[in-house]
Amino acid sequence: IFFVKGFSLNPFEKESDGLGQMSKNIPSAEIFKWDNKNEIIQAIKARPEEQAIILVGHGMGGDTIVDVANELNSVEHGFRKVNLLVTMDSIGTDNDIIPPNVADNFNMISDQDSLINDGPNVARKRGMTYVTNELRPEGHNEMEGSPEVQFLVYEKINQALMQAVAKKDIAK
């Protein structure tokens, strides 16, 4: 499970806030910054092919994880599957179309910040990727620290992990 924090101008924000706090509560989860795309891809490639991949990003981190998913959807990276992609009030360009290697995308959009956030996400291949767009009352800066949003993210992570376990061939 890879959490990716977005760009922040807040000098008082700690890496342990929001997504950093969430990552500390999940064994083996890792936290990255939005500008560490190559490091994220290398960390994913170091995992066994059968291991579930879950990407969670806020702001520019949301844009980064869509870029990561797109890059993983290539011959070079073996069309690596992403079990769950959680985008939280993503900011950036070219991050609204979710590639077919993503099984499930849960996209949360703030209804308060029309200049900061992106719009709804769309699956490139509707039969391969399930996309849920949810309008949230939290502002952009409050979203990743919201207990309700964190609960929703944990629920989605648990569902994705349970599905991955259910598909595993236990005999192997």
Q: What is the pLDDT of residue 64?
A: 95
Distance, in Å, from the CA atom of 129 to the CA atom of 151, rounded to the nearest integer, reads 23
Q: What is the pLDDT of residue 120?
A: 81
Cα 82 → chain centroid: 9
Query: Which segment of 27-41, 95-109, 112-126 scores lowest on mean pLDDT?
Result: 112-126
Angle among Cα 143, 29, 98 to the nearest 5 degrees reads 60
Distance, in Å, from the CA atom of 156 to the CA atom of 75, rounded to the nearest integer, reads 28
Question: Mind listing the pLDDT tens digit for each residue in 98-112?
Answer: 999 999 999 999 988
Q: What is the pLDDT of residue 92?
A: 76
88 φ, ψ (degrees, to nearest 5): -115, 105
Distance, in Å, from the CA atom of 159 to the CA atom of 72, rounded to the nearest integer, reads 22
- What is the pLDDT confidence band of residue 172, given thresholds at 50, 70 and 90? low
- pTM more than 0.75: yes
| Rounded percentage of the chain residues whose pLDDT exceeds 70 | 88
